[in-house]
Chains A and B, each alone.
Chain A
Amino acid sequence: MIERPVAGQLPPFDTVFQRYYHRVFAILTRIVGPDEADDLAQETFLRFHDRPPLRRTDDEDAIGAWLYRVATNLGFNAIRTRKRRTAREERVTRAELPLQRPLDPESEAVRREERALVQSVLVEMPDRARAVLTLRQAGCSYAEIAAAVGIAPGSVGTTLVRAEALFRQRYEAVRSQKAGAGT
């Protein structure tokens, strides 16, 4: 039943899904956390199904880049707009599609707090910097990052170093602020 992607003679949907799902999921877990990552990964592939990129078939890197770009945008949009906050909180408690997550509620609460902190810093960073950082954290190669973000592969390292420095600086600032507010 799932067939659709034809534009520009793209590979079959199944092939693309099997090849890229884990990476798309990894990107999204780092942006929105595991609870929402599944939904947004689903959304990413649905977009690929419904509105596939107009690229050539044999350019598989371009397909990956397209998927990563869509996933990144969806992820940051989700955080920024906070549209799904309620649903996400509800989803944490639901049993459907169980993910591999710790059963200890206390440690899970800490993880969620940490995730929220990281997300709050990421969402305020410049688009390119946060995309490079997130994609790298998800295990993308420099070439994949370059294609997804639209920069030269040789610039990825420099952009990444700067992005990490900026992220760390802001993260520490927010963390100190929170620690100060807590005392």
Chain B
Amino acid sequence: MMDEQMNERAMQPIDDGMLRAYLDGDPVLSDGARGRIAAALVEQPALAERLTVLRADATAVDAIFAPLTMPEPDAAHRERAYRRIQTRLTTERHASFVTTIKEKFADMTTINRIARVRRFAFAGSLGALAVVLLLAFAPVTDAFTSVLNTFRYQPTQFAVITLNTSQFPQLQGNMAKETPGAKPATGSKPAGSPTAQDQQKLMQELSKYVSFTSSIGQGQLPGRPVKSAAEAKAAVGRDVTAPKYLPPGVANTPQFFVSDHQTADATLHLNEIRPALTQVGMASLIPATGDTATVHVDAPAASIVSYGFNPTAQGGTAKNQQGIAVIAMGSPTIDVNGLDVQGIVNTISALPNMPPEFVAQLKSADLQHTLIIPVTDQQTVKNGTINGARSTTISQKDGSMSVVLWITSDNVLHIAVGTFDGPTMEKVAASA
């Protein structure tokens, strides 16, 4: 068809386009057309001059483009490029897996946040939910090397892992904006937070792979009001940790709550998980044999004393609440059976797209004895001491809320949380 077109054109006057094709030696010109142009160039000086001009133009443009010219990619270059495409196709599947992990984390964080917002006075849930978070960031021990083993996790200290919100977009904008005690607006949900349907769907999908039985978060949040410190002490078996210092403006009327002993069990159906992981090239996450693995979480009872919060407050009243709460709970334990926890962390750490700083933090912590607190870069973190015990203070950058965590020598985990800046809450913690 091209030849026909050019042959047809061959009978027409020779234009710049034909001359240019002639100059380029492009096969779009038929032999006949090429011959006709060659003859015309000999016979017509003006045409030959035009060809010279076109050649000069083409040469000038070629010279301009020279800096953009690269040697043709050699076999090694092509091979590298091919491998990169291959990797990327694999990576995208991994990336979706990573995204799932991130989404799961963000969902859990959102659940935690919503729970905190709705029932801030029931802040004992923080401890329990922190334990739940540990399921997403599996604990490790350096001594744990065998594929099948039993692993016990019991934190005696805290470590903070900072998550860059740009790498976890669902966290952006939510943490800083919410005010403890505020009720989420009816009919709206924070950007990136899951709907009930999302949660249901997620749980349905997860149930194929994991069976959960848990008293954590069942029904009412893990906190029930009690009348006095004595009643709380009777329920949890130790003294209530109550602060002697209250920040200005906080009503000096304590409310006591008890978070009863909680347990959670997860059974991983390895036979179901194995093919899914194999498909994404991550079979090494779980043992090659065995039908199930189990994770058992034991969260001891906790006492909570709060000042200034009315858990039933609504709207603006709730939003403007100023208060503090101090939680004391026995250190939780997590038993993992049938999983190579170290291998899981190693594999997850090696995943493409995992933020390197996150991986570095994960690997550097003594995770067997460390409670991992994921925070975002919207928050500040400070390590210090509270009455001789090592502590970690996490504050919103705008000072609207802070949490101080410390573990005393009797292995009791304390959390002081309030709508104040870090130093103020440290003062509260030190007085407890």
* Chain A positions near chain B (C-beta within 8 angstroms): 1-2, 14, 17-18, 21-22, 25-26, 29-31, 33-34, 37-38, 41-42, 45-46, 49, 97, 99-101, 110-112, 114-115, 118, 133, 136-137, 141-143, 152-161, 164-165, 167-168, 171
| Distance from B64 Cβ to chain A, minimum over Cβ atoms (Å) | 6
Q: Answer whether A142 and B5 are a contact pair too, CB < 8 Å, given A2-B89, A22-B78, A157-B19.
A: no
Q: Of A97, A118, A143, A157, which contacts B17 at CB under 8 A?
A: A157
User: Contacting chain A: which of B68-76, B234-242, B344-352, B423-431?
Assistant: B68-76
> In this complex, what residue of A is CB-closest to B9?
A154
Min Cβ gap A183→B in Å is: 21
Smallest CB gap from A49: residue in B: B89
Given A157-B28, A161-B20, A17-B85 contact (CB < 8 Å) = yes
Q: Is the CB of A143 within 8 A of B2?
A: yes
Q: Does B26 contact A (CB under 8 A)?
A: yes
Q: Which one, B54-62, B110-118, B188-196, B256-264, is touching chain A?
A: B54-62
22 chain-A/chain-B pairs, Cβ below 8 angstroms: A17-B78, A21-B73, A22-B72, A25-B81, A26-B70, A29-B70, A30-B65, A30-B69, A49-B85, A97-B80, A99-B77, A101-B70, A114-B67, A115-B68, A141-B27, A142-B24, A143-B2, A143-B27, A152-B5, A153-B6, A156-B28, A157-B24
Contact B69 A142 (CB under 8 A): no
In whole angstroms, what is the CA distance A152 to B5 when docked?
Answer: 9
* Residue on B nearest A159 in the bound complex, by CB: B17
Number of interface residues, chain B, beta carbon within 8 A: 42
Q: Give bound CA distance, A168 to B65, whole Å.
A: 11
| Interface assignment of B88: CB less than 8 Å from any CB of chain A | yes
Q: Which residues of A contact B82 (CB under 8 A)?
A: 14, 17, 21
Does B36 have its Cβ within 8 Å of any Cβ on chain A? no
CB-nearest residue of chain A to B58: A164
Interface residues of B in 3-54 (CB under 8 A from A): 5-6, 9, 15-21, 24, 26-28, 54
Kindly state whether residue B253 has any CB partner on chain A within 8 Å. Answer: no
With contact pairs A1-B90, A49-B89 given, residues A142 and B28 touching in the complex (Cβ less than 8 Å): yes
Query: Quick one: given A153-B5, A168-B61, are A118 and B68 in contact (CB under 8 Å)?
Result: yes
Give the distance in Å from the alpha carbon of A152 to the alpha carbon of B6 in the complex.
Answer: 10
Question: How long is the Cα–Cα vector from A67 to B24 in the complex, in angstroms?
Answer: 23
A154 and B81 contact, Cβ closer than 8 Å, known pairs A42-B88, A100-B71, A161-B54: no
In the assembled complex, the Cα of A41 lies from the Cα of B85 at a distance in Å of 10
Are A26 and B72 closer than 8 Å at their CB atoms? yes
Docked complex Cα distance between A31 and B1 (Å) = 31
**Neighbouring A residues of B85 by C-beta, 8 Å:** 2, 17, 42, 45-46, 49
Contact partner, B86, options A1, A37, A167, Cβ 8 Å: A1
Count A-B contacts at CB 8 Å. 135
Contact between chains at A158 and B16 (CB < 8 Å): yes
Is there contact, CB below 8 Å, between B70 and A100? Answer: yes
**Chain A residue contacts of B57, Cβ below 8 A:** 161, 164-165, 168
Is B84 at the interface (CB under 8 A from chain A)? yes
Q: How far is the CA of A46 from the CA of B71 in the complex (A)?
A: 23
Q: In the complex, A100 Cα to B78 Cα: how many Å? A: 13
Q: How far is the CA of A165 from the CA of B17 in the complex (A)?
A: 13
Give min CB distance, A50 to chain B, whole Å.
9
Nearest CB of A to B338, in Å: 30
Given the known interface contacts A156-B17, A160-B20, A168-B64, the answer about A46 and B88 at a Cβ–Cβ threshold of 8 Å is: yes
Known contacts A1-B90, A42-B84, A141-B27: A115-B20 contact under CB 8 Å? no
Select from chain A the residue with minimum beta-carbon distance to B84. A42
Which residues of chain B in 280-303 are interfacial with respect to chain A, using CB atoms and an 8 Å cutoff?
none
In the bound complex, do residue A29 and residue B16 qualify as a contact, i.e. CB atoms below 8 Å apart? Answer: no
In angstroms, how far is the closest chain A Cβ from the Cβ of B50? Answer: 10
Which residues of B lie under 8 Å from residue A29 when comparing CB positions?
Answer: 68-70
Are A161's CB and B60's CB within 8 A?
Answer: no
Take A2-B85, A142-B26, A153-B5 as given contacts and tell me if A161 and B16 are in contact as well, using a CB distance cutoff of 8 Å.
Answer: yes
